[in-house]
Structure 1
Amino acid sequence: MARFAVELVFGPDREKRLSVRPEHREYLASLVEKGVVLASGPYADDTGALIVYEAADEASLKEVIAADPYSSANVTEWRIREWSPLMGLWLND
């Protein structure tokens, strides 16, 4: 499995994003239960968010992202980076 740091950059339509946010968060919660989302949260300045995913590969991750309500609402830009964490409390070596 690979880990990915995904940055969400919020678009200009804040009202539309906030209307979709409950569905987005429910979706993320379901992914936490499945072990796909390891961490998630918005930036303090409300310009975006960071989500750390675990997936087989980038193609699998893109399928997960495509199913996110934020994707279908087109309220964020998704920046995907494969990440190789070396240290941390939640890492499984």
Structure 2
Amino acid sequence: MNYFAVHYLYAGDSEQIITLRPEHRAWLGGLRDENILVGSGPYTDGLGGALIIIRLPEPATVADAEALMDQDPFQQEGALAGREIREWNPVLNVFAE
């Protein structure tokens, strides 16, 4: 499996984020059910944004992760101020495959 860290940038008090959050979380729930989502959640420092960790079968690339994350309602509705996706190697981990 290839792992990817997805960093979302958005204001914590964004009305668009608040409105879309249930749809976004339902979409993430589908990824969890497909064993793609490893974990997700907002940063708690008051600055907004979130971290999402996903896993895709080898030989998945960042482009594959981007294509998947393009389906997120936050991305589709233009609610994000920014997004960064990087391949990640969890050398020591508790993630079951």
Q: Normalising by the residue count of structure 1, what TM-score does the alignment of the two structures yield?
A: 0.88
Structure 2 residue aligned with 1:79: 84
- The structure richer in helix per residue is 1
Structure 1 residue aligned with 2:70: 66
State the distance in 2 between where 1:86 and 1:50 align.
19
RMSD: 1.7
State the distance in 1 between where 2:47 and 2:35 align.
26
Cα contact 1:3–1:53 (8 A) shared by 2: yes
Structure 2 alignment gaps of length 5 or more: none
Q: How far is 1:26 from its partner?
A: 0.3
Structure 1 residue aligned with 2:53: 52
Aligned length: 92
- Give, as a single letter, the amino acid of the residue that structure 2 aligns with 1:54: R
State the distance in 1 between where 2:78 and 2:47 align.
17
Structure 2 residue aligned with 1:37: 37
Structure 1 alignment gaps of length 5 or more: none
Query: Structure 1 segments of 4 or more deviating over 2 A?
Result: none
Q: How far is 1:33 from its partner?
A: 0.6
- The structure richer in strand per residue is 1
State the distance in 2 between where 1:85 and 1:91 align.
12
